[in-house]
Amino acid sequence: MELLFIGGSELAIVFLIALLFFGADSIPSIAKTAGKAMKEFKKATSDIKKEFDEHTDGVKDQVNDVRKTLNEGGRAIEDEIRKTEKDLKDNLK
């Protein structure tokens, strides 16, 4: 993952290469365009995440409902087993 991190010297080299290729006059417009592109990318990423969350909220609710039903059913079965054990113990006495 070290490839993703650019240090100060690497950044200076990239800037010098860009200066040589594009010239000093075009660097501000390139930077402005890159900034706009990053802003659009972040907005698109945010929109996709929001849409994904909206579509999965219904599934999350259904899973929580099933989990709640299973927990309630498990408790009811557990209560019934305890009641049956108690009845058996009482009948054996």
The string of DSSP codes covering 36-89 is HHHHHHHHHHHHHHHHHHHHHHHHHHHHHHHHHHHHHHHHHHHHHHHHHHHHHH
Residue ranges per structural domain of the chain: 9-92
pLDDT tens digits along 33-85: 989 999 999 999 999 999 998 888 888 888 999 999 999 999 999 999 999 98
pTM tops 0.85: no
Instruction: Give the pLDDT score at 14.
Output: 83
CA distance 71 to 63: 12
2 has pLDDT over 80: no
